[in-house]
Amino acid sequence: MPLPFRVQLIDVGPRDGLQNEKQPVPAAVKIELVHRLQTAGLTEIEVTSFVSPKWVPQMADNAQVMAGIQRQAGVRYSVLTPNLQGFEAALQTQPDEIVVFGAASEAFSRKNINCSIAESIERFAPVVQAALASGIAVRGAMSCTVGCPYEGDVAPERVAYLAGLMKQIGVQRVDVADTIGAGTPLKVQKAMEAALLHFDLDHVCGHFHDTYGQALSNTLAALQLGVWNFQASVAGLGGCPYAKGATGNVSTEDVVYMLHGMGIETGVDLDKLIDAGAYIGDFLGRQPNSNVAKAILNKRLG
Ligand code: HMG
Ligand code: MG
């Protein structure tokens, strides 16, 4: 399979990145981060989630953040919606895409969204229908496609099963997520191939956390299958509150640097992306969790 010549990136920093931050991040900072990402050329941004504020307090300002964004033509703004209640609230804010999120492991499904995989699909089905009827695109995130914090290794058959259910209810594309960042390239390829039994190459997306430092290798392994949609998080922010110990997504800076170095287009201006990462890093009081960002920031100091 030849490598793709272009990759579409979704920056999930404002959502996956910030959801796990203990210190409150004001809506104005989240809005500014989204603005900086779109200025850097990101054309897909996962902005927030319409989940229970008791479960994820950091996302309680979802509507305020969505309302504050000055939208740029050609940019797709997505939000997470676990159920109809979340979808109805999200609808008021006019997202371009909603994301239902399930898991390939039963235990994670229960811990994250308080229901079984089968129940989650029952909850998602009306959300998907309502979104499509409103002209909103629908993505399905699939957590724990290689490993689960509670069940250990996850078999590719579990991924195929979930992908099949997502397809049946009308989900248009899926994220193959390594939630705990424990995956290695061949395992990730198997998980991808399982998703590809139900979705074509244009409709699967890699979402790799970098806990064990494997995410760039896993990205390359997915590219070698022809996958050309990836999620990453500016400054390597984040983690999932229900996947203890898991760190952030692979940093968008590292992915962009690798892809550009391979001659693969992303449409992203790396320097402006570094600025976006530095902005949120300054706010949080720490360096970006990205080797590329650190190297370039050091070089700028001369
Ligand atoms: P539940 O307690 O089973 O829900 O939670 P419920 O329907 O029984 O309702 C209980 C209460 O929650 C009620 O309030 C509802 O109004 C409220 P009360 O009467 O007690 O005051 N509620 C809501 N409030 C706001 N928005 C809503 C909503 N729904 C119910 N949408 C629920 C079920 C799904 C809501 C809960 O488990 C939840 O919010 N979970 C979210 C967990 C989460 O956000 N995890 C992180 C995102 S997933 C992730 O990071 C992984 C990903 O990045 C991919 C990867 O890396 O793997 C995507
Ligand atoms: Mg994630």
Taking alpha carbons only, the member of 169, 115, 170, 167 closest to residue 137 is 170
**pLDDT, position 243:** 81
Q: Is the CB of 109 under 6 A from ligand 1?
A: no
Nearest CA to ligand 1 atom 40: 113
**pLDDT, position 158:** 98
Give the pLDDT band (50/70/90) at residue 288.
Answer: very high
Nearest CA to ligand 1 atom 8: 114
CA distances to 55, 117, 241 from 162, rounded to whole Å, are 24, 8, 22
Answer yes or no: 205 catalytic: no
Q: Is the CB of 17 under 6 A from ligand 1?
A: no
Ligand 1 mutation target, pool 52, 55, 116, most atoms within 8 A of CB? 52
Q: Is the CB of 101 under 6 A from ligand 1?
A: yes
182-223 pLDDT, tens digit each: 999 999 999 999 999 999 999 999 999 999 999 999 999 999
The average pLDDT across 68-77 equals 98
**Gap between the Cα atoms of 162 and 61, Å rounded:** 30
State the pairing for strand pair 204-208/229-232.
Answer: parallel
Q: What domains can be seen in the chain, in order of their start residue?
A: 8-301 (3.20.20.70)
Half-sphere exposure of 263 (CA within 13 A, CB side): 4
Q: Is the pLDDT of residue 242 over 90?
A: no
The average pLDDT across 2-10 equals 96
Query: Strands (DSSP E) along 3-136, which ranges?
Result: 8-11, 44-49, 76-80, 97-103
Q: Is the CB of 77 under 6 A from ligand 1?
A: no
Of 17-26, 179-188, 241-250, the least confident = 241-250
Q: Is the CB of 7 under 6 A from ligand 1?
A: no
Q: Is the CB of 49 under 6 A from ligand 1?
A: yes
Paired with 45 in beta bridges are 11, 77
**Gap between the Cα atoms of 286 and 191, Å rounded:** 34
Cβ-based neighbours of 193, under 8 Å, separated by 6 or more:
156, 225
Give the pLDDT band (50/70/90) at residue 52.
Answer: very high
Cβ-based neighbours of 154, under 8 Å, separated by 6 or more:
104, 105, 144, 145, 146, 147, 148, 191
- What is the percent of the chain where pLDDT is above 70? 100
29-43 pLDDT, tens digit each: 999 999 999 999 999
112 Cα nearest atom in ligand 1: 42
**Gap between the Cα atoms of 162 and 193, Å rounded:** 13
122-166 pLDDT, tens digit each: 999 999 999 999 999 999 999 999 999 999 999 999 999 999 999
Ligand 1 mutation target, pool 15, 49, 51, 117, most atoms within 8 A of CB? 51
CA of 52 to the centre of ligand 1 (A): 4
**pLDDT, position 261:** 98
Q: Report the predicted TM-score, pTM, of the whole model to 2 decimal places.
A: 0.98
**pLDDT, position 302:** 85
**pLDDT, position 244:** 83
96-110 pLDDT, tens digit each: 999 999 999 999 999
- What is the percent of the chain where pLDDT is above 90? 95
Q: Which token pair is 218?
A: 């896993």
